[in-house]
Amino acid sequence: MSGITRRQFTASLATTIFAPSIIKGGIRAGSKAQRLPLAFSTLGCPAWPWKKILDQASQNGYAALELRGLLDDIDITKSPQFTGGKLRESLKDLAALDLKVSDLGASARLGEPDKVKLAEQMDEAKRYIELAHQMKSAYVRVFGGKLGKGQSIEDATKRIIAGFEQLHEFAKGSGVVLLMESHDEFTTGEILLKILKGVNLPTAALLWDAHHTCVAGKEKPADTFKLIGSYARHTHLKDSRAPLAGEKDRRYVLTGTGEVPVKETVRVLKTSGYRGYYCFEWEKRWHPEIDEPEVSIPHFAKIMGDYLA
């Protein structure tokens, strides 16, 4: 995509990276109240239609949405809501409530060792870049992915770097930056830093899922941020607790009621000059047993108001 000049792209990138920490705009269109830089992922409300998502975001003081599925469509590039004339209508819906799209959450795995599957991952990433460009959203999330059978972390790292390089040729000039999420095998500052330094492109940065670096990577927020904070453009925040008797896995719980240092993560981000969104990723689509979004989404906004005060 090369519809704009490199100078325009650079200016656009600088604007999105250093977004204002307090976003002006009302809870309803026309209000003069100030919003905190809060977002939530639509992964957390898989049963909500588009208009309810917008209404709940606006009512609860959110400034942005991360688009990660809508109703039955996990791939939003295939959702009727974001194609053709309906896309233009959706953009008007967002503008009417002064809501932004923080990022688009693709499922693309850049470390995929199988050539046929990798081609599918790259095609998905490109579709998301195109849609993000149309929606004037600065970021598209991608994954490194789980290691394939017999695949080493070194091999996956090389493939991820190569994937970013290939997608850079497609994304440059679009104003869209690809964010690798701390996820799967890539949940420590050390391995993420190796990838991000290896890529070293303006179209590549980090989505810091602080839950994963804490729980899976076993790192303290300040230690992780010291290594990779300069690459962080977006966040995923959520809380969980260890499994109780009879449970196999950790359980996601309301923010501030579990064992993950969300408050400390926010403190580290705030005091370090982070200027992106604090995004609530409530994994309701994958874990239907956890609290309903009607409870968890307002709760996160209230707790974050205290944490960011």
Global pTM? 0.89
Q: What's the mean pLDDT in 285-302? A: 98
Q: Quote the pLDDT of residue 230.
A: 97
pLDDT digits (tens, 9 = 90+) for 94-147: 999 999 999 999 999 999 999 999 999 999 999 999 999 999 999 999 999 999
Cβ 235 vs Cβ 21: under 8 Å: no
Total of domains in the chain: 1
- pLDDT score at 117: 97
Cα gap 33→31, rounded to integer Å: 6
Is residue 24 pLDDT above 80, yes or no? no
Q: Quick check: helix, strand or coil at residue 209? A: strand
> How confident is the model over 81-97, as pLDDT tens digits?
999 999 999 999 999 99
Measured torsion, CA atoms of residues 191, 195, 196, 200, in degrees rounded to the nearest 10: 150
Local structure of 156: helix, strand or coil: helix
Give me the percent of the chain exceeding a pLDDT of 90. 89
Residue 126 confidence (pLDDT): 98
DSSP, residue by residue, 101-134: EEEEEEEEETT--SHHHHHHHHHHHHHHHHHHHH
With respect to residue 43, please indicate whether it lies within any of the assigned structural domains: yes
Q: What is the pLDDT of residues 137-178, one digit of tens each?
A: 999 999 999 999 999 999 999 999 999 999 999 999 999 999
Backbone angles phi, psi at 298, to 5 degrees: -65, -35
Could you tell me the two tokens for 251?
């359980």
| Tokens 């974001």, located at residue | 82
Instruction: Please count the CA atoms within 13 angstroms of the CA of 149 that sit on its side-chain side.
Output: 0
- CATH at 46: 3.20.20.150
Cα 94 to Cα 107: distance, rounded to the nearest angstrom: 24
Work out the average pLDDT over 58-78: 98
- Phi/psi for 198 (5° steps) reads -65, -35
Could you give the angle at the alpha carbon of 214 between the alpha carbons of 242 and 128, nearest 5°? Answer: 110
Q: Please check whether residue 32 lies inside any domain of the structure.
A: yes
**pLDDT, averaged across the chain:** 91
pLDDT class of 34 with cuts at 50, 70, 90 = confident
Name which of 107, 117, 132, 119 is nearest 203 in CA terms: 132
Q: Which domain holds residue 57?
A: 6-307
The yes-or-no verdict on residue 28 having pLDDT over 90 is no
- Asked if the structure places residue 1 within a domain, the reply is no
- pLDDT tens-digit readout, 214-223: 999 999 999 9
Q: What is residue 33's predicted lDDT score, i.e. its pLDDT?
A: 66
**pLDDT grade for 31, boundaries at 50, 70 and 90:** very low
DSSP summary character for residue 80: G
